[in-house]
A and B are shown apart, each in its own frame.
Chain A
Amino acid sequence: NAGVTQTPKFRILKIGQSMTLQCTQDMNHNYMYWYRQDPGMGLKLIYYSVGAGITDKGEVPNGYNVSRSTTEDFPLRLELAAPSQTSVYFCASSSGRAFYEQFFGPGTRLTVL
């Protein structure tokens, strides 16, 4: 199993541009998450999904959108990129709602200039 994969690994955007961060998991997990990690800070939850067709906001959802059309894929959309969105983005998945460990992808390092 590849686990959780993310693309791209690195990306530089100009202010106002848009992009989609891709996330795929092959563990048949129902629960998927998007986090951002800023230097010296803990991971902050952006959006999460409890299954195909169901998504909800986390702590810091502004400026982002998600969709979940399949169990495997959970893309994160950035509209009108801003410098404040410069961060490392991690996708994760878990088999259960609570108590269960989360499996993380390798991350996407995004810079907005």
Chain B
Amino acid sequence: EDQVTQSPEALRLQEGESSSLNCSYTVSGLRGLFWYRQDPGKGPEFLFTLYSAGEEKEKERLKATLTKKESFLHITAPKPEDSATYLCAVQGNTGGFKTIFGAGTRLFVKA
């Protein structure tokens, strides 16, 4: 069964304090791993798609990396506006094209 586990559940950082969020996954044949950002009271907003181990993608202060078992979302010198919940999701080769989401990591960045 496809599964996604995110850690930590919550992360508190000072502005400028870099860190990483973890997404461990189990899937039968990875089609794609997705990162989304979700602000309170809003729907998730797409950040990245990663397709194969070794792939990396960057957007402003965010960098996503992928191995065969996990993905990391690195946040460099975060700002308060980076505070949000970050969701990881996977699509596997079985189960049609259903996307399995993790519970998310709530990030708080204090000025």
Chain B residue at minimal CB-CB distance from A31: B97
Say whether B100 faces chain A, with CB atoms less than 8 Å apart. yes
Say whether A12 faces chain B, with CB atoms less than 8 Å apart. no
Q: Out of B46, B87, B103, which one reaches A101, CB within 8 Å? A: B46
Say whether A45 faces chain B, with CB atoms less than 8 Å apart. yes
B41 surroundings in chain A (CB, below 8 A): 106-107
Asked if residues B102 and A90 are in contact (CB atoms below 8 Å), the reply is no
Interface residue count on the A side (C-beta < 8 Å): 25
Q: Out of A58, A99, A104, which one reaches B43, CB within 8 Å? A: A104
A92 surroundings in chain B (CB, below 8 A): 43
Say whether A53 faces chain B, with CB atoms less than 8 Å apart. no
A107 surroundings in chain B (CB, below 8 A): 41-43
Asked if residues B4 and A42 are in contact (CB atoms below 8 Å), the reply is yes
Residues of B within 8 A of A (CB): 4, 9, 31-32, 34, 41-46, 49, 51, 87, 89, 91, 96-104
The list of the 3 closest CB pairs from A to B, nearest first, reads A104-B43, A42-B101, A101-B46
Residues of A within 8 A of B (CB): 4, 33, 35, 40-45, 48, 56, 58-59, 90, 92, 97-99, 101-107
